[in-house]
Amino acid sequence: MTEVSVRPVVSSPSAKRSQLIDVDVHERADLQALVPYLEPMWRKYITDFGWQPERVLPYSQYAAGGLDRLDAKLPDGRPGGSDYDLLRRQLLDEHDIDYAVLTGWLDASALQPGWAEFKTALMSAYNDWQIADWLSRDDRLLGSVHVNAHDPIGAAREIDRIGSHPKMVQAILYIADKAFGDPYYHPIYEAIARNNLALGFHHSENAPTALGFHRYFVEWHTLVPQVFMSELVSLIFNGVFDKHPELKVFMIEGGFTYVPHLMSRADQQYKELRSEVPWVKRMPSDIIRQQVRFATQPTEEMSLTQFMRLIDWCESDELFCFSTDYPHWDFDSPTEALPQGLSEDLQRKIFVENAQNGYAKMPALRTAGQ
Amino acid sequence: MTEVSVRPVVSSPSAKRSQLIDVDVHERADLQALVPYLEPMWRKYITDFGWQPERVLPYSQYAAGGLDRLDAKLPDGRPGGSDYDLLRRQLLDEHDIDYAVLTGWLDASALQPGWAEFKTALMSAYNDWQIADWLSRDDRLLGSVHVNAHDPIGAAREIDRIGSHPKMVQAILYIADKAFGDPYYHPIYEAIARNNLALGFHHSENAPTALGFHRYFVEWHTLVPQVFMSELVSLIFNGVFDKHPELKVFMIEGGFTYVPHLMSRADQQYKELRSEVPWVKRMPSDIIRQQVRFATQPTEEMSLTQFMRLIDWCESDELFCFSTDYPHWDFDSPTEALPQGLSEDLQRKIFVENAQNGYAKMPALRTAGQ
Which one has a higher pLDDT value, A8 or B60? Answer: B60
Q: Which of chain A's residues have a Cβ under 8 Å away from the Cβ of B178?
A: 211
B226, A231: Cβ pair inside 8 Å? no
Q: Report CA torsion sign: B231, B237, B240, B242.
A: positive
- Give the minimum alpha-carbon distance from B222 to chain A in angstroms, rounded to a whole number: 6
Residue A4 maps to a domain:
no
User: From first to last of its 370 residues, what are the pLDDT tens digits of chain A?
Assistant: 444 444 444 444 444 567 999 999 999 999 999 999 999 999 999 999 999 998 899 999 999 999 999 999 999 999 999 999 999 999 999 999 999 999 998 777 778 999 999 999 999 999 999 999 999 999 999 999 999 999 999 999 999 999 999 999 999 999 999 999 999 999 999 999 999 999 999 999 999 999 999 999 999 999 999 999 999 999 999 999 999 999 999 999 999 999 999 999 999 999 999 999 999 999 999 999 999 999 999 999 999 999 999 999 999 999 999 999 999 999 999 999 999 999 999 999 999 999 999 999 999 987 654 4
d(CA B287, CA B270): 12
Residue B83 lies in a domain: yes
| CA separation for the pair A12, B338 (Å, rounded) | 38
Report the domain count for chain A. Answer: 1
- Residue B114 in any domain: the answer is yes
Q: Residue B17 has what pLDDT?
A: 60
| pLDDT(B18) > 90 | no
Task: Indicate whether B116 belongs to any domain.
Answer: yes
- Average pLDDT over every residue of B22-49: 97
Question: Under the phi-then-psi rule, with left for phi > 0, alpha for psi from -120 to 50, and beta for the rest, what region is B30?
Answer: beta
Asked whether residue B118 carries a pLDDT value surpassing 80, the answer given is yes
Per-residue confidence (pLDDT) for residue B368, from 0 to 100: 52
Residue B369 falls inside a structural domain: no
A56/A110 Cα distance (integer angstroms) = 9
Across the interface, do A233 and B255 touch by the CB < 8 Å criterion?
no
| Residue B7 resides in a domain | no
User: Which among A229, A257, A305 is the nearest to B223, CB-wise?
Assistant: A229
In angstroms, the CA A292 to CA B34 distance is 51
Q: B298: cis peptide before it, omega within 30°?
A: yes
- Nearest residue, CB atoms, B234 vs list A211, A237, A270: A211
pLDDT (0 to 100) of residue B10: 43
The whole-angstrom distance between residue A41's C-alpha and the CA centroid of its chain comes to 32
Do B3 and A303 lie within an 8 Å CB cutoff? yes
ipTM of the complex: 0.93
CATH of the domain at A162: 3.20.20.140
The percentage of chain B sitting over the pLDDT mark of 90, rounded to a whole number, equals 90
Q: Give domain status of residue B72, yes or no.
A: yes
**Which residue in chain A is spatially nearest to B61 when comparing CA positions?**
A273
pLDDT value of residue A10: 43
Closest alpha carbon within chain A to B178: A211
**Per-residue confidence (pLDDT) for residue A294, from 0 to 100:** 98
pLDDT at B250 over 60: yes
Asked if A219 and B231 come within 8 Å (Cβ–Cβ), the reply is no
Average pLDDT over residues B353-358: 98
Chain B residue numbers touching A302 (CB-CB < 8 A) = 1, 264
Instruction: With CB atoms and an 8 Å threshold, state whether B273 touches A1.
Output: no
Provide the shortest C-alpha distance from residue B361 to chain A (in Å).
31
CB B143 within 8 Å of CB B102: yes
In a domain, A363, yes or no: no
Cα of A67 vs its chain's centroid, Å: 17
What per-residue confidence (pLDDT) applies to B3? 44
**pLDDT tens for each residue of B105-117:** 877 777 899 999 9
Q: Per-residue pLDDT averaged across B340-367, rounded?
A: 94
Query: Which residue of chain A has the CA closest to B223?
Result: A230
pLDDT at A108: 72
Mean pLDDT of B80-87: 97
Of A229, A273, A306, the CB nearest to B218: A273
pTM confidence score: 0.94
Mean pLDDT, residues B151-166 taken together: 98
Tell me the average pLDDT of chain A: 93
Chains A–B, number of C-beta pairs less than 8 Å apart: 191
Is residue B82's pLDDT more than 90?
Answer: yes
In tens, the pLDDT along B300-347 reads 999 999 999 999 999 999 999 999 999 999 999 999 999 999 999 999
- pLDDT recorded at residue A365: 87
Nearest to A1 among B182, B260, B302 (CB): B302
Q: Which domain holds residue A92?
A: 13-358
Q: Is the pLDDT of residue B195 over 50?
A: yes
Percentage of residues in chain B having pLDDT higher than 70:
94
- Give the other-Cβ count within 10 Å of A342's Cβ: 24
Rounded to a whole number of angstroms, the distance from the CA of A333 to the nearest CA of chain B is 15
* A217 with B273: Cβ contact below 8 A: yes
B320 secondary structure, DSSP code: E
**Hey, are the CB atoms on B179 and A272 less than 8 Å from each other?**
no
**A225 to B313: CB separation less than 8 angstroms, yes or no:** no
pLDDT at position B16: 56
Is the CB of residue A203 less than 8 Å from the CB of residue A61?
no
Q: At what angle do helices A304-314 and B304-314 cross, to 10 degrees?
A: 140
What average pLDDT does the segment B213-220 reach? Answer: 98
